Amino acid sequence: MNQSEQRVFSGVQPTGNLHLGNYLGAIVKFVELQETHNCIYCVVDLHAITVPQKPEELRSSIREVAAAFIGAGVDPCKHIVFNQSQVAEHAELGWVLNCVARIGWLNRMTQFKEKAGKDRENASVGLYTYPTLMAADILLYKATHVPVGDDQKQHLELARDVAQKFNNDFAQSIAALGYGEVFFPQPEPLIQGPATRVMSLRDGAKKMSKSDPSDYSRINLTDTPEAIAQKVRKAKTDPEPLPSEVDGLSGRAEADNLVGIYAALSGSTKPDVLRDFGGSTFSRFKEALVQLAVARLTPVSSEMRRLQADPGYLDQVLRDGASRARAIAAENMVAVKDVVGFLR
Ligand code: TRP
């Protein structure tokens, strides 16, 4: 398959404050992939309501994610940017795939266990079946490549299992209708780069997260240069200077994280960064990191602010993206219905 036949799909949840982890773990990759692939980037609002959301905040978070995609450099004319709930086929295929996936598969999902916590009886049914909806998002467009952060790896494996089980369960029908042997292609995860896992600035063992009570733990995409500088300067470190080799980062989670962030922001690697900063103190390294982070993030955040000031424009972009997404989704969904044996 040549690259123009490959299709990229990915989604980001509109659940409040986007941060450096979302940016380096996903959005930067989205921008890169536009050069080589047809891309569909989705604001996954159906996923967001698996936990309670305030309607007014949800609306503004959907626009924030759209603004982040575009502000970071995604071109919504050449590619597709839309919000999931505007294309009803996501929910429709999600149901069919709920009937393909097995309860035992979902019971193994570690993110459900983390998110549901101790009070599992009280988690929404949607939170439990979330991975089958994610599989539907991807398979609805027969996407071949899915850029995701490393926390989504297990969900992507489930999507691959669901695709394969659908292909097997309906093999005869698929062949009889002339689709060959493979109806859904196996989506490949794209998980790479020095900072697909950005950790908290306060605790190198925890992921950077929007739900951390300390705002100093994360750099938000809308932070001012002053806020970025303050957060980097206060970031937790250890008393040793930086090592000159990557091996020297083991057991030093905070140092490792800052070096990873520097590498990702500068488009280099950890060994490159340590070649330049090995032996240097954290105070010197942090000043360089402040300059780099401000230089990289300020254009994105000012563009985001400009876009968010014009919600009408963002809504129009999302509607236009949804109508183009729907055209692909509807065609594939008709085929799914035929394969399953529904009348239409
Ligand atoms: N579950 C993903 C997350 O929380 C978001 C998501 C939903 C997604 N559907 C997707 C990512 C499809 C990639 C492909 O980050």
pLDDT of residue 149: 84
246 and 294 assigned to the same domain: yes
State how far the Cα of 308 lies from the Cα of 64, in Å rounded to an integer. Answer: 7
Domain that holds residue 92: 3-196+310-340
Q: Which of 43, 133, 134, 191 to mutate to test the pocket of ligand 1 (most atoms within 8 A of CB)?
A: 134
Beta carbons of 289 and 262 less than 8 angstroms apart: yes
Residue 295 has pLDDT above 70, yes or no: yes
CA angle 63, 142, 126 (to 5 degrees): 55
CATH of the domain at 46: 3.40.50.620
Nearest to 195 by CA among 292, 287, 109, 116: 292
Does 137 sit in the ligand 1 pocket, CB within 6 Å? Answer: yes
Asked if 308 and 314 count as a contact pair (C-beta separation under 8 A), the reply is yes
Alpha-carbon distance of 69 to 61, in angstroms, equals 12
pTM: 0.94
Task: Give tens-digit pLDDT for 21-65.
Answer: 999 989 999 999 999 999 999 999 999 999 999 999 999 999 999
The residue among 184, 114, 126, 185 whose CA lies nearest residue 154 is 114
* Amino acid identity, position 239: P
For the residues 225-250, what does the mean pLDDT come to? 96
Q: Would you name the residues annotated as active-site residues? A: 115, 207, 210
* pLDDT more than 70, % of the chain: 97
Predicted confidence at residue 41, as pLDDT, reads: 98
Q: Model confidence over 138-156: pLDDT tens digits?
A: 999 999 999 998 889 999 9
Same domain, 158 and 248: no
Q: Which residue is it, tokens 């609002």? A: 45
Continuous H helices in 99-207: 103-107, 110-116, 125-140, 153-169, 171-176
Give yes or no for a contact between 170 and 176, defined as CB atoms under 8 angstroms apart. Answer: no
What CATH number is given to the structural domain containing 284? 1.10.240.10
User: Which residue of 7, 12, 140, 186 sits with most ligand 1 atoms within 8 Å of its CB, as the best mutation to test the pocket?
Assistant: 12
Amino acid at 267: G
| Per-residue pLDDT tens digits for 168-210 | 999 999 999 999 989 999 999 998 766 668 999 999 999 999 9
**CA angle in degrees (0–180, nearest 5) for 30-31-37:** 70
Q: How many domains does the chain have?
A: 2
| Pair 163, 118 in one domain | yes
Q: Are residues 298 and 329 in the same domain?
A: no
Q: Is 10 in the pocket of ligand 1 (CB under 6 A)?
A: yes
Are 293 and 178 contained in the same domain? Answer: no
Same domain, 26 and 156: yes
Say if residue 155 is exposed, middle or buried (CB neighbours under 10 Å; 0-12, 13-18, 19+): buried
94, part of any domain: yes
Mark whether 220 and 162 lie in a shared domain. Answer: no
Which range among 1-15, 20-34, 60-74 has the greatest average pLDDT?
60-74
Residue 67 shares a structural domain with residue 149 = yes
pLDDT at 196: 67
pLDDT average, residue stretch 126-139: 98
User: CA-to-CA distance for 138 and 11, rounded, in angstroms?
Assistant: 9
Q: Are strands 188-190 and 7-12 parallel, antiparallel or unpaired?
A: unpaired
Measured distance CA(222)–CA(20) in Å, rounded: 10
- Give the mean pLDDT of 72-84: 98
Q: State in Å: Cα 130 to ligand 1 middle.
A: 9
Residue written as token pair 């032996």: 279
